């Protein structure tokens, strides 16, 4: 899109209350968004009403799209317009696609095979592990992980994809230059380097509560299916699942402990017809994607690592299961000295034999 017209797309995108629906009505009524901007008050009021017309007049005085475009270029962001050929095709065909997408990173053709992993902001340790493992397994099947970079399950899904050297996309409820939650600044940078961070909101937009339902339709719109890992009955994740159904996407849910509030959401979805997920193959099967050999074939490396284990390392691995185990339990089961177990666990973590979690919990990798 030529710069002159792009400036008016930015201008209209900044007007509070316009939204995709009114934006596309303007685009349909006028030859360009520039023509729409300079249309008469009478013509515009028929589409956007008096209140929004006044908002538009205020923005015309208070805000300069040239400065925003300059800032976008300085920060290395990309703008995707709905009419552009490289606008994400999955998203283009939902009911209300965002007219503009601000992007930090790069959207690729392979991202059309996207799966969203979402859930509670306060997950259990098991939920965190499930999010990371599912994300890692799916990216090894050349699936792009999509999520919202929120605390909890979202962040763990992004981390799992990154640890497995796969692609992941984060969709924000704020402008690209506003990191939310703030502790995810480093994670956001890593996502931009190995995928994309996206937002439909203009730069500087704060993470207001009303932005997140709109954000959620983009998460599901980019994806072939949405997987809910842990969520309460009133969680926003269930709203995203409902949006996904409206968009014609598959909805999946991971079952869990029946006494946990975090599993009530997934269990409700399963009762309503969501596909139960026990492993990544359940997702691929429902999406009619044939499983492939892992991109990172670690079997030979794992055999070599197992062959080089010390006697103590073998003992520790022998008592560890796929579920995380507390260090005290490892000490009791192995009957080894506390100091010896502590030192060996550190060495095993460095060798990527095990993974450490908060609270001195450990899980075997091989």
Q: Note the pLDDT tens digit of each residue in 61-110.
A: 988 999 999 999 999 999 999 999 999 999 999 999 999 999 999 999 99
Q: The domain that contains 345 carries what CATH number?
A: 1.10.10.10
Q: Note the pLDDT tens digit of each residue in 210-229.
A: 999 999 999 999 999 999 99
Strand partners for 253: 228, 276
- Retrieve residue 121's tokens: 């902001």
Q: Is there a single domain that holds both residue 190 and residue 211?
A: yes
Check the CA dihedral 10-16-20-24 and report its sign: negative
**Distance of alpha carbon 79 from alpha carbon 113, whole angstroms:** 21
Tell me whether residue 199 is in a domain: yes
Tell me whether residue 89 is in a domain: no
Chosen domain end from 286, 307, 338? 286
pTM metric for this prediction = 0.82
The yes-or-no verdict on residue 1 having pLDDT over 90 is no
Who's near 206: CB < 8 A, 6+ residues apart?
A: 174, 175, 178
**Total tally of structural domains belonging to the chain:** 3
What average pLDDT is seen over the chain? 91
Give me the mean pLDDT over the 286-315 stretch. Answer: 68
Tell me whether residue 139 is in a domain: yes
pLDDT band at 296 (very low <50, low <70, confident <90, very high): very low
In the block, residue with structure tokens 């961070």 = 197
Q: Note the pLDDT tens digit of each residue in 344-359.
A: 998 888 777 888 888 8
Give yes or no for a contact between 158 and 147, defined as CB atoms under 8 angstroms apart.
yes
Which residue intervals of the chain are DSSP H helices? 3-14, 19-29, 33-37, 41-62, 65-75, 89-92, 125-139, 153-163, 185-193, 211-221, 236-246, 264-271, 280-286, 299-307, 311-319, 327-334, 338-350
Q: Is there a single domain that holds both residue 126 and residue 243?
A: yes
Who's near 293: CB < 8 A, 6+ residues apart?
A: none
Q: Is there a single domain that holds both residue 132 and residue 201?
A: yes
pLDDT band at 257 (very low <50, low <70, confident <90, very high): confident
Task: Report residue 151 CA to chain centroid gap.
Answer: 11
Q: Is there a single domain that holds both residue 152 and residue 266?
A: yes
Tell me whether residue 11 is in a domain: yes
The yes-or-no verdict on residue 365 having pLDDT over 80 is no
Q: Is there a single domain that holds both residue 278 and residue 212?
A: yes
Q: Is there a single domain that holds both residue 125 and residue 257?
A: yes
Closest to 132 measured CA to CA, from 164, 163, 156? 156
Q: Is there a single domain that holds both residue 213 and residue 315?
A: no
Q: Is there a single domain that holds both residue 244 and residue 323?
A: no
What pLDDT, on the 0 to 100 scale, is given for residue 292? 82
Tell me whether residue 76 is in a domain: no
Tell me whether residue 280 is in a domain: yes
Q: How far is the first Cα of the chain from the last one, in angstroms, to the nearest whole number?
A: 51
Q: Is there a single domain that holds both residue 235 and residue 333?
A: no
Give yes or no for a contact between 252 and 229, defined as CB atoms under 8 angstroms apart.
no
Who's near 197: CB < 8 A, 6+ residues apart?
A: 103, 104, 105, 149, 169, 170, 171, 172, 176, 188, 191
Give me the mean pLDDT over the 318-322 stretch. Answer: 82
Q: Is there a single domain that holds both residue 118 and residue 265?
A: yes
pLDDT band at 265 (very low <50, low <70, confident <90, very high): very high
Chosen domain end from 69, 85, 119? 69
Identify the DSSP state of 197.
Answer: E
Tell me whether residue 13 is in a domain: yes
What pLDDT, on the 0 to 100 scale, is given for residue 285? 94
Tell me whether residue 88 is in a domain: no
Q: Is there a single domain that holds both residue 202 and residue 118?
A: yes
Length of the chain, in residues:
366
pLDDT band at 190 (very low <50, low <70, confident <90, very high): very high
**Distance of alpha carbon 161 from alpha carbon 193, whole angstroms:** 12
- C-alpha R_g of the chain: 24
In the block, residue with structure tokens 């994809």 = 161
Check the CA dihedral 231-234-239-242 and report its sign: positive
What pLDDT, on the 0 to 100 scale, is given for residue 14? 92
318: containing domain: 299-364
**Distance of alpha carbon 359 from alpha carbon 121, whole angstroms:** 19
Q: Which of these ranges, 118-122, 170-174, 209-213, 317-321, has the smallest mean pLDDT?
A: 317-321
Q: Note the pLDDT tens digit of each residue in 140-188.
A: 999 999 999 999 999 999 999 999 999 999 999 999 999 999 999 999 9
Chosen domain end from 286, 315, 330? 286
Q: The domain that contains 264 carries what CATH number?
A: 3.40.50.450
Count Cα neighbours of 365 within 13 Å in the Cβ-side half-sphere.
Answer: 23
Q: Is there a single domain that holds both residue 167 and residue 257?
A: yes
What pLDDT, on the 0 to 100 scale, is given for residue 308? 64
């Amino acid at each position: 899109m030529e710069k002159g017209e792009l400036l008016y797309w930015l201008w209209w995108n900044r007007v509070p209350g316009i939204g995709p629906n009114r934006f596309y009505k303007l685009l349909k009524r006028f030859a360009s968004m520039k023509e729409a901007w300079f249309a008469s008050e009478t013509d515009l009021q028929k589409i956007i009403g008096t209140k929004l017309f006044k908002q538009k007049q205020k923005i015309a005085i208070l805000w300069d799209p040239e400065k925003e475009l300059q800032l976008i270029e300085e920060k290395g962001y990309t703008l995707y317009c709905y009419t552009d050929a490289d606008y994400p095709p999955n998203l283009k065909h939902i009911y209300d696609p965002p007219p503009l997408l601000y992007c930090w990173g790069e959207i690729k053709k392979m991202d059309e095979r996207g799966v969203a992993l979402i859930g509670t902001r306060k997950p259990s340790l098991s939920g965190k592990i499930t999010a990371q493992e599912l994300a890692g397994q799916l990216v090894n099947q050349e699936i792009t992980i999509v999520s919202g970079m929120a605390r909890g399950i979202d962040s763990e899904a992004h981390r799992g994809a990154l640890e497995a050297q796969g692609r992941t996309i984060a969709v924000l409820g704020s402008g690209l230059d506003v990191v939310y939650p703030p502790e995810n600044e480093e994670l956001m940078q890593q996502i931009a380097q190995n995928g994309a961070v996206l937002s439909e909101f203009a730069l500087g937009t704060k993470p207001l509560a009303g932005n997140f339902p709109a954000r959620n339709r983009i998460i599901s719109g980019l994806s072939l299916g949405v997987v809910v890992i842990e969520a309460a009955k009133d969680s926003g994740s269930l709203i995203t699942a409902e949006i996904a159904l409206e968009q014609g996407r598959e909805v999946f849910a991971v079952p869990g402990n029946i006494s946990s509030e975090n599993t009530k959401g997934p269990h409700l979805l399963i009762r309503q017809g969501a596909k139960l997920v026990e492993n990544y193959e359940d997702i691929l099967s429902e999406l009619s994607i044939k499983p492939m050999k892992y991109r990172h074939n670690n079997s030979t490396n794992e055999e070599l690592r197992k062959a080089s284990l010390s006697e103590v390392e073998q003992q520790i691995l022998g008592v560890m299961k796929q579920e995380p185990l507390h260090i005290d339990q490892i000490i009791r089961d192995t009957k080894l000295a506390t100091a010896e177990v502590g030192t060996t666990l550190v060495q095993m973590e460095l060798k990527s034999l095990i993974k450490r979690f908060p609270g001195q919990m450990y899980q075997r990798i091989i």
